[in-house]
């Protein structure tokens, strides 16, 4: 497919991409299991450099042992580190989770802030985490979550030519309607796990093959 040059052609192509994603994943949700925004924050912190599948195996027992934010605030990081050991980088993650609980109790009355600037002051809540919590926890489209799948596939589809997550997010925010910011990330993540797999993309099964400009696209 020829690369579109005009703004109208680029917008038409984007609408094609969004339509295909809607057909593939019409009711997409966050892959991290949670029952409230605090649990989602914890799960998202644990998901750094770890699969969602692994996190979802750890969190049921974790939330049973520490059912409230007060319980997390009271535990020593070195004790929590043992409970989350299998998620990797457990010492840093434990410090972040305990620090987040204490910060939220001390400064926000125990409620997860719904403002991204406030949420970014919470330990462990960098921009990606904050976007996940606000989007999937409260339905607030504060930005576009850019994980490895989103960054990789957005580049393959020529929706960005940037590499850093912050710059990729900036490009996606510029072209996507705000009402698509939350669902788009979830859809690309599912697409990256099921079809556009990093190690061996399933191009022969891909409904977006005609829209893809990736140099390593398989015939």
Reference 13, options 160, 149, 217, 212; nearest CA is 212
DSSP 125: -
Q: Is 22 a catalytic residue?
A: no
Cα–Cα distance list, 168 to 29, 52, 138, 147, 174 (Å): 22, 22, 23, 10, 10
Token pair of 44, please? Answer: 């998202």
Give the Cα separation of 155 and 59 in Å (integer): 32
User: Per the residue annotation, which of 22, 147, 158, 171 is the catalytic one?
Assistant: 147
Q: Is 147 a catalytic residue?
A: yes
Asked whether 191 and 149 are in contact (CB, 8 A), the reply is yes
Token pair of 193, please? Answer: 């796990």
Q: Which residues does the annotation mark as catalytic?
A: 128, 147
């Amino acid at each position: 497919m020829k690369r579109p040059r005009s703004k109208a052609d680029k917008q038409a192509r984007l609408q094609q991409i969004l339509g295909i994603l809607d057909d593939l994943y019409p009711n997409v949700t966050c892959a991290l299991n949670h029952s409230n925004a605090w649990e989602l924050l914890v799960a998202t912190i644990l998901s750094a450099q770890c699969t969602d599948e692994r996190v979802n195996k750890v969190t049921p027992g974790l939330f049973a042992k520490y059912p409230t934010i007060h319980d997390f605030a009271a535990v020593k990081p070195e004790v929590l580190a043992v409970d989350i050991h299998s998620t990797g980088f457990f010492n840093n993650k434990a410090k972040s989770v305990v620090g987040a609980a204490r910060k939220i109790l001390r400064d926000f009355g125990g409620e997860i802030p719904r403002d991204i600037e406030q949420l970014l002051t919470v330990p462990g809540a960098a921009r990606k985490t904050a976007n996940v919590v606000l989007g999937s926890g409260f339905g607030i489209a504060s930005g576009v979550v850019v994980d490895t799948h989103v960054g990789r596939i957005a580049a393959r589809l020529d929706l960005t030519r940037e590499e850093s997550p912050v710059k990729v997010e900036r490009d996606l925010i510029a072209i996507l309607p705000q009402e698509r910011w939350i669902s788009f990330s979830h859809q690309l993540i599912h697409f990256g796990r099921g079809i556009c797999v990093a190690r061996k993309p399933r191009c022969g099964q891909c409904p977006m093959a005609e829209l893809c400009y990736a140099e390593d696209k398989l015939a």
